[in-house]
Amino acid sequence: MTVSALRTPQRHRCTVVGCEGDETRFEVGRGQRVLHEMIRRNVRAVPVGCRGGGCGVCRVRVLDGEYLTLRMSAKHISADDAARGIVLACRTIPVTDLVIELAPAGHDAPSTPSPPTRPTPPPDTST
């Protein structure tokens, strides 16, 4: 074990700022995901859906702190979102204490399903 490992906190504080300025705090164990720790600690601050990056309901914006993310679908988090600190709480692992707020629904997600596309038939070469 290195000296820096001894200095790394075993858990980080996560503060969720609500839309009316209210704050909810909970601890996230080192290497754990924000949403999973929130659920485990029976805290209700971020909407919970699939818990695996598939539905996008747990979008949050990190206002302060450092974090790592597991792979996130561009369907829910665009490159622009990621650049603005918008992440999926179920795919986010704090590296330091975090302050987050709920993020609006993704603008990249289609509001209606696209119609299925059909393959283009080969050109008619019989004439």
Task: Give min distance, CB of 55 to ligand FES, in A.
Answer: 4
| Nearest to ligand FES of 45, 90 (CB atom) | 90
Q: What is the 3-state secondary structure (H, E, C) of 18-61?
A: CCCCCEEEEEEECCCCHHHHHHHCCCCCCCCCCCCCCCCCCEEE
Rg, Å, the chain Cα set: 20
Task: Give min distance, CB of 88 to ligand FES, in A.
Answer: 5
Task: Give min distance, CB of 28 to ligand FES, in A.
Answer: 15
| Nearest to ligand FES of 48, 99 (CB atom) | 48
| Nearest to ligand FES of 8, 50 (CB atom) | 50
Residue 48 near residue 40 (C-beta atoms within 8 A): no
List residues binding ligand FES (CB under 6 A).
Answer: 35, 48-51, 53-58, 88, 90
Tokens encoding 73: 């679908």
Task: Give min distance, CB of 73 to ligand FES, in A.
Answer: 8
| Nearest to ligand FES of 50, 68 (CB atom) | 50
Which candidate, 71, 58, 73, 61, places its Cα nearest to that of 98? Answer: 61
